[in-house]
Every structure is written in C-alpha cells, then in structure tokens.
Chains A and B, each alone.
Chain A
Amino acid sequence: MRSYALFPGCFISARFPHFESSTLKVLKELGFELKRLKGVTCCPEPVSMHMLNLKAWYTVAARNICLAEEAGLDILTFCNGCNATLFRVNQDLKAAEGLRREVNENLKRVGKKFEGKIAVKSILRVLFEEAGQSVIKVHVKNPLHNIKVAVHYGCHIFDEIKDFDDPKNPKSLKELVRVLGADVVSYPSEMLCCAAFARTIDKELALVVAEEKLNDLVDASADCLVVICPYCFLQYDLSQIILTGQSKKTFEIPILYYPQLLGLAMGFNARDMRLDFHKVKTTKLIQLIERARDR
C-alpha cells in the first residue's frame, strides 16, 4: 500500500477526533502509511470563503496542497468538504495557467509555489480503488451478515466521484459495505442532501429534510446509516435527538462513519471505534454484529 499526506480536516480533528483515530487504526491495518503535514489550516471550507473571496479560497487551499507537494505525497482527505475544496483547487490550478500564476504570485508572500505535482483523494476513493474489495475482504474477521446498512454519500464528494464512479448512480460506497458481508438497503431519499448547510439559517428546514431521510430509513428497516462526511454525520446523529426531544417521533438509527463500520468488520470493537461518542446509541447494532459473529 502507498503512503499519503494526511488531511483529516478541522471538522473531524476538532469535533469528531474519534473518526480520525478509528480511520488511522483501520488504514494502518490495511498497510497504508500516513504522514501528518505541519502548518496546515482549514482546507478552507468549500462554501463560506468561496462565497466571500474566491481568490483567497484558491490561495489558502493551494498553500495546503503545497505542503503535501513539499512532502512528495498525494493528499488523503477524511472529510467530503476538504475533498471538495482541495480536489477542485488542485484540478483548477493544474488546468488554468492564468489562475495558477495569480495564486502563485500571492503564495510568494509565504514562500510557497503550487507546482501541480500531486493528487487529492478521498478516503472513499482510496479504499475503493487502492485497497479494493479483494484486500478489504481478506481483513474482514467479523462479516456483518444480515446487517442492513443504508448509505449516504453526501454532496461534496461528487466532484471527485465522477473520476472513479458513476455520479448519477454511485456504487462505490455500496460495494465497500457489501464486501463487509452486510446487506445494502435502498431507500427513496438516498441521493438527498443532508441539509446540514441550512442549520445556521433555518433550523426547521434542516430538521424537515433530515426527517425525510430518517423516515425512509425506518421504512427500509435499516440497522444503521453509513456516511463519509462528518457534517452529514452531525446532521443525522444530532437531528434524531432533536426530533425525539420534540416528541415528534423516536428515531434510533445509528450513524457510522464508514471506516468505523469497516473497523468493526475487521475485528476492532466498539470501544476501539469509539462508538460511545455518538449521540444515537449503537448498542443494538453492536448486539446484531456480535450475533452475526457468533453464528
């Protein structure tokens, strides 16, 4: 397996560090080597700075990419948002000479220069393409037989996803769940945005959109929902608590970040994957997994 420059992103590092620790455990077991970059910043987040000052967005992102170029390593992102920014900036600067010149002019102030020498890849892509199903299967010690798993890709991954999957009908995350022995359940709102972006401006709207998917998951009898973005995780994990608190309905659908599910199938336990940090309890899911293991 290859080495990568690690870019966990600030949302995972500073809100869900257990995603960082569990993914590192899993990747180490799969034979990946990861190097931490010194001096990183927020990617920057793909909406806010992009909206307020596009040049700044390109330049700050380019600086992060330069750090990986100096290390001679491709970037591995853990967060869809980081992937959306770094993947797009990397592509655009490689393709557009004028933009690259402009960004490099600003980067001179901090002694950096974007060369366009590396790639930016998401955890989904690296596990799907590079580890692949055959390698992952070898590491599965606790097949998740009869566990019904629903998947949610999120939105920001769809810029990169067209390079390795069909954006209109993506299969990569489903294949990565199936290789663990689990059943993938389909549901109507599978491609619906989590609406986490709406939480700061219209909490009610954000809850209504989350509730639509949660209702579909209940109808599909999903034992859990697997995500690859920390913001999607926050939206679905937290919304269930809020909706239950509003006495609208009781939802108990555990939300897992894919590497956590992979870790459970590889033989790590719930404590290793720090499922105790999730708001929606994963007790029933763990019992199902243990039952599947003991059969």
Chain B
Amino acid sequence: MSYRLVIYKMIKKLKPAASPLDFYSLLMSFNGLGFANLVASHKALVSSIVEEGIAVTVTNLILKRRQSLGLPPLQFDTADTKKLAEATGLLKTLERLE
C-alpha cells in the first residue's frame, strides 16, 4: 500500500463526509507528496474546458497534423460554456480553488 493511499485513508477518517473541495486545503498541506496534484490537475483541466472549450492543449503540430490528414480545423465553443459555468456555479467553484 503506497503512502498516498495511507494518507488518503487517514484524511477520510478525520472528515468522512467532506466533499473533495473540503479536502483541498488539507491536501495542499501535503503538497510535494504529489497528492495535492490530484485536485490541482482536475482544476486545470476544468479551467481549460471553460476557457477554451477543450480539455487538452492544442499545439501547432496537431493543427498541422489535422490539416495533413484532411481533417477540418478544431473549433470548440467557449461562449456558451462560460455562460453555463456561471449559471451552474462552476466559476465560483474554480475561484474557491485559487
């Protein structure tokens, strides 16, 4: 059993009903052990979806590759996504994780 699993089980015992967000500040104290990276990486991915409409960074290589494969350029919505992020409280969630 890795120490990450041990720490996670300890955290669950301390605060069993907590949401992932409530764990965040506690997890940040374990920064450097790699555990806090879990929430940080989720936040980065979701922020990318809200800002760019896509979870993945688009590189010039990929854009050229798509063109060479005869595929259309990438187009993802951002306007509607931002509105929905606001309407559902997701923007506030992301701000809390700053």
Interface residues of A (CB under 8 A from B): 10-11, 13-15, 17-18, 20-21, 36, 38-42, 44-45, 47-49, 51-53, 55-56, 59-60, 63, 106-107, 109-110, 112, 200-202, 205, 274, 277
Contacts and interface: CB of A to CB of B under 8 A. Distances in A.
Contact of B54 (A14, A17, A106): A14
Given A45-B49, A48-B42, A56 B55 contact: no
Contact of B84 (A18, A48, A52, A106): A106
A17 B83 contact: no
Interface in B2-44: 2, 4, 20-21, 34-35, 37-38, 41-43
Given A14-B54, A52-B21, A60-B85, 17 more contacts: A10-B54, A13-B66, A14-B56, A14-B57, A20-B69, A39-B80, A40-B76, A48-B42, A49-B90, A52-B94, A55-B90, A106-B88, A109-B83, A110-B84, A201-B41, A202-B34, A274-B69
A60 B84 contact: yes
A11 B45 CA distance: 12
B56 A201 contact: no
Most B CB within 10 A of own CB, among A51, A60, A109, A277: A60
Interface in B68-98: 69-72, 74-78, 80-81, 83-85, 87-90, 93-94, 97
B88 A55 contact: yes
A17 B65 contact: yes
B49 A53 contact: no
B63 to A, nearest CB: 9
Given A52-B20, A53-B93, A59-B87, A38 B75 contact: yes
A40 B77 contact: yes
A49 B87 CA distance: 15
A45 B80 contact: no
Contacts of A49: 45-46, 49, 90
A251 B42 CA distance: 31
Nearest to B89: A53
A15 to B, nearest CB: 6
Given A52-B93, A202-B34, A10 B56 contact: yes
A205 B4 CA distance: 10
Contacts of B78: 41
A17 B62 contact: yes
Nearest to B67: A17
Nearest to B78: A41
A201 B66 contact: no
B39 to A, nearest CB: 8
Nearest to B4: A202
A56 B74 contact: no
Contact of B42 (A39, A40, A51, A277): A51
A107 B42 CA distance: 24
Contact of B74 (A14, A18, A55, A60): A14
Given A10-B54, A38-B75, A59 B69 contact: no
